[in-house]
Amino acid sequence: MNQQKSIAIIGAGIGGLTLAIALHRKGINAIVYENASEMKFLGAGLTLAGNAIQSFKAIGLQNEVLAAGKILKRLFIKDHLGRVITTADAEYISAKLNIVNNFAVHRADLHQVLLQQLPEEKLVLGKRAIDFQQYNDRVLVTFADGTSVDADYVIASDGIHSIFRRKLVQKSQPRYAGYTAWRAVIDQSATALNLDETSESWGRGKRFGIVPLTNNRIYWFATMNTSAKNERLKNYTPQDLAKEFEDFHLPIPQIIEETKSEQLIWSDIIDLEPLKKFAFCRVVLMGDAAHATTPNMGQGACMAIEDAAILAICMDEEKQVEKAFMNFEKRRISRTTKIVNDSWRLGKVAQLENPLLISLRNAAMKMVPPSVAEKQVKFLSDISF
């Protein structure tokens, strides 16, 4: 592409930062504008599948990212009493497919790695985009502090509540999945955990996941069926939450009790009904702004990272940026749509409350051969750059 063009990336989340690095490495000039006035390293853990790691590899970031996290060897799905429903041998599958799969990292550590790879002058903080106007030859983005920027092109990576998507696709609103979630990162509990394994335990309308991280920390998450924006649950202390999970197997109640109130992060689970377009002339949507998904497949950030790798390639290959945006849309829309839909359905199955349906589900899952997990990993990691 013409390297004199100016590109504004809005939002310095995982997607926006990864893209900025990818463009920088291809000699394409882009500046990231981020709402936050400082990059506070908040958040919990993330699991990244093979597709995210391959995308980092395509950008040349794989080693730095892998050094910040931990590769996990096995994944278990259990019932609330701890009986194994199904398991996936991530180590075997990774070796067979020759990929790095099932990688866990603290979000803060990943952000730190990404920030270290981006020249300081490429990121402007304290810039909350509040509106934009698209003209024939440019896009004017206005910020809450009264300033504005005139860019040739804009890449909106401003997350699920994207102001760009809200204006471009007015009927697209986040939809509530029917369950809420708590997350935390804590030092490994006194109880013995296998730090090579990740697990999810499924109860009635509730799930609890444990993901080991580096430096003797664990990331845990809990989900529960409820109405949206439930004020009572929002104010739950770890002790309140431990009561909700008191019938779950050990060490789940202890892990929750060992968590400090300030470590607890609460959020309703929301996603976006798949869009039919990501490219709108001089503006393109990416990451959660384009295709936010429920976290059931652990693919939201993975898709944002894939977007970054592929959008950078499209912009490198095609001189006309509007065409590059269209090519990106073509390459991304059916894959991201499938993942959003599969993840939504998986959430419904995992959050079942009816005991009979739960027994049937668990019995059916026990009969699923290991090749199915392998196929899923293969589908996710089969990306051509």
Ligand X SMILES: Cc1cc2nc3c(=O)[nH]c(=O)nc-3n(C[C@H](O)[C@H](O)[C@H](O)COP(=O)(O)OP(=O)(O)OC[C@H]3O[C@@H](n4cnc5c(N)ncnc54)[C@H](O)[C@@H]3O)c2cc1C
Strands 70-71 and 217-225, bridge-based pairing: unpaired
In the complex with ligand X, the residue whose CB is nearer, 48 or 358, is 48
286 neighbors 155 (Cβ within 8 angstroms)? yes
Tell me whether the omega of the peptide bond preceding residue 251 falls within 30 degrees of 0, making it cis.
yes
In the complex with ligand X, the residue whose CB is nearer, 172 or 362, is 172
Give the count of beta carbons closer than 10 Å to the beta carbon of residue 4.
Answer: 7
Nearest-approach distance from CB 11 to ligand X, in angstroms: 3
Q: How far is CA 192 from CA 15, 73, 183, in A?
A: 35, 17, 20
Nearest-approach distance from CB 20 to ligand X, in angstroms: 11
Amino acid residing at 171: K
Nearest-approach distance from CB 304 to ligand X, in angstroms: 4
Nearest-approach distance from CB 183 to ligand X, in angstroms: 6
219 neighbors 69 (Cβ within 8 angstroms)? no
Q: Which DSSP letter does residue 274 get? A: P
Taking the C-alpha atoms of residue 246 and residue 261, their distance in angstroms, rounded to an integer, is 18
The answer for residues whose C-beta is within 8 angstroms of residue 26's C-beta and 6 or more apart is 312, 315, 316
129 neighbors 158 (Cβ within 8 angstroms)? yes
Helix (H, G, I), strand (E, B) or coil at 54: helix
In the complex with ligand X, the residue whose CB is nearer, 140 or 323, is 140
259 neighbors 218 (Cβ within 8 angstroms)? no
In the complex with ligand X, the residue whose CB is nearer, 149 or 163, is 163
Q: Which helix (H) or strand (E) holds 31?
A: strand 30-33
Give the count of beta carbons closer than 10 Å to the beta carbon of residue 336.
Answer: 25
In the complex with ligand X, the residue whose CB is nearer, 189 or 294, is 294
Nearest-approach distance from CB 2 to ligand X, in angstroms: 26
Nearest-approach distance from CB 12 to ligand X, in angstroms: 5
In the complex with ligand X, the residue whose CB is nearer, 266 or 362, is 266
Give the count of beta carbons closer than 10 Å to the beta carbon of residue 279.
Answer: 22
Nearest-approach distance from CB 356 to ligand X, in angstroms: 29
Residue closest to ligand X, measured at CB: 13
Nearest residue to 99 (alpha-carbon basis) of 68, 46, 55 = 55
In the complex with ligand X, the residue whose CB is nearer, 226 or 362, is 226
The answer for residues whose C-beta is within 8 angstroms of residue 357's C-beta and 6 or more apart is none
24 neighbors 115 (Cβ within 8 angstroms)? no
Nearest-approach distance from CB 259 to ligand X, in angstroms: 15
Q: How far is CA 141 from CA 134, 144, 149, 239, 370, in A?
A: 9, 10, 5, 45, 50
Q: How many residues does the chain have?
A: 385
In the complex with ligand X, the residue whose CB is nearer, 14 or 233, is 14
In the complex with ligand X, the residue whose CB is nearer, 301 or 324, is 301
Query: Which residues bind to ligand X, rule: CB under 6 A?
Result: 10-16, 33-36, 46-48, 127-129, 157-159, 163, 181, 183, 221, 267, 287-288, 295, 298-302, 304
In the complex with ligand X, the residue whose CB is nearer, 47 or 327, is 47
Q: Which helix (H) or strand (E) holds 249?
A: none
Structure tokens at 295: 């976290």
Nearest-approach distance from CB 369 to ligand X, in angstroms: 25
Nearest-approach distance from CB 58 to ligand X, in angstroms: 17
Nearest residue to 13 (alpha-carbon basis) of 328, 286, 341 = 286
